[in-house]
Amino acid sequence: MENQLASLGIKVPEILLPAEDIDPAKFAVIACDQHSAEPAYWEETVRIVGSSPSALHLMLPEAWLDQKDEKEPLIERAMSRYLADGTLRSIGEGFVYVRRTVGTRPDGTPLVRHGLVAAIDLEKYDYVPGNHNLIRATEATVKERLPERIRIREKASLEMPHVLVMLDDEKNALTALLEQMRAGDPADGGASAGSSAASGLKCLYDFDLMQDGGHIEGCFLNEPEQIAQIAKVLSSLYDACDDGFLMAVGDGNHSLAAAKETWKAHPEIPALRYALVELISVYDEGLSFHPIHRLLMNLDPADIPAIRKELRLDDPSLDLQDLQPRIDEWLTEYRKTHPAAELEYIHGREECLALGEKPGNLAIVFDKFERGSFFRTVLENGTFVRKSFSLGEAREKRYYLECRRLR
Taking only the tens place, the pLDDT of each residue in 275-296 is 999 999 999 999 999 899 999 9
Percent of the chain with pLDDT over 70: 97
387 vs 285: CA distance, rounded Å: 22
Name the pLDDT band for 195 (thresholds 50, 70, 90).
very low
Q: 368-398 burial, b for 16+ CB within 10 Å, e for fewer?
A: ebebeebbebbbeeebbbebbbbbbebbbbb
Mean pLDDT of 166-185: 95
| Residue 360 pLDDT > 90 | yes
3-state helix, strand, coil in the chain (%, to 5): 40, 25, 35
The pLDDT of residue 190 is above 60: no
For the chain, give the mean pLDDT: 93
Instruction: Record the pTM.
Output: 0.90
In 10 A of CB 90, how many CB atoms? 13
3-state SS class at 393: coil
Q: Is 37 exposed, middle or buried (0-12, 13-18, 19+ CB in 10 A)?
A: exposed
pLDDT the model gives residue 196 = 35
* Per-residue pLDDT, 186: 56
* Residue 197 clears pLDDT 60, i.e. is over it: no
Tell me the per-residue pLDDT of 39-68, one tens digit each, with 9 for 90 and over.
899 999 999 999 999 999 999 998 998 898
Looking at residue 199, its pLDDT comes to 54
